[in-house]
Amino acid sequence: MQSAKIIELIDSGARELGQRLADSELDRLARLLLELKRWSARMNLTAINDLESMVAGHVLDSLAVRPFLRGERILDVGTGAGFPGLPLAITEPQREFYLLDSTARKLGFIRHIAGELGLSNVQTVKARAEDYAPASGFATVIARAVATIPQLLEWAGQHVAEGGVMLALKGRLPEDELKELPEDWGFEITKLIVPGLDQHERHVVTLARRTF
Ligand code: SAM
């Protein structure tokens, strides 16, 4: 698929999400997918391999959570090849993104593409989430397809700064997971409609510490 066609698909999907992206953002998002596809052929970085599915499954699914971000410092836990962190960093240049994973191979791709695209707001962190010791907390900790919500809170709840949130991107509503939350965390569920993923349920669960 040509770059122009990918740009057109991202642009129309983003408009359906209510987002108008600049040409430079569309160009970077398309380059991200083309480079991911090229690297993935050698290194098996992503299970989704055709570009049309990558637009929906990687770019639009990531952009759908933009309205839920808070603050300047964002931690993407278990980012894999950079999702949702990279599309968010491209479209939210005023925020600082820390992309954490325990697998060095995937972080190598992120460093490469961040350099190619000139993304100065992306840092990579090679660590297990539960062992990471950042100098300060994050206004938003986000995770897609990494672990159950109780497990995420156990691994990364301590990285959420006071007044901050954890965003868990989920498919089907994880009712069982929500029954097992620690008492000091409250949550809100929002159903997402992601263009191209209409057949799939998508939810974002926003978690915050309760103030008793
Ligand atoms: N978030 C990406 C996405 O949605 O495309 C990647 C999802 S992939 C299924 C899960 C990722 O979480 C893997 O890259 C794995 O290395 C990482 N991971 C799992 N447990 C982790 C932990 N405790 N700390 C850091 N990374 C972890």
Q: How far is CA 157 from the centre of its chain?
A: 17
pLDDT digits (tens, 9 = 90+) for 76-106: 999 999 999 999 999 999 999 999 999 999 9
Q: List strand residue ranges (DSSP E) for the chain, in order.
A: 73-77, 96-101, 122-126, 138-144, 160-170, 185-192, 202-209
pLDDT of res. 104: 94
The full set of domains in the chain, from first to last, is 3-209 (3.40.50.150)
Interaxial angle between packed helices 23-43 and 104-117, expressed in degrees from 0 to 180 and rounded to the nearest 10: 150
The model's confidence at residue 138, banded by pLDDT at 50, 70 and 90, is very high
Check residue 62 and give its pLDDT. 98
| pLDDT tens for each residue of 32-82 | 999 999 999 888 888 888 999 999 999 999 999 999 999 999 999 999 999
1 pLDDT higher than 80: no
Instruction: Answer yes or no: is the C-beta of 39 below 6 A from any ligand 1 atom.
Output: no
Q: pTM of whole model > 0.85?
A: yes
Distance 47 CA to ligand 1 centre (A): 13
Distance 4 CA to ligand 1 centre (A): 31
* Angle at alpha carbon of residue 70, lines to 123 and 31, rounded to 5°: 45
Residue 128 predicted with pLDDT over 80: yes
pLDDT at 189 over 90: yes
Q: What pLDDT is stored for residue 47 in this prediction? A: 86
State residue 25's pLDDT score.
98
Residue nearest to atom 15 of ligand 1 (CA): 78
**Closest residue by CA, ligand 1 atom 24:** 128
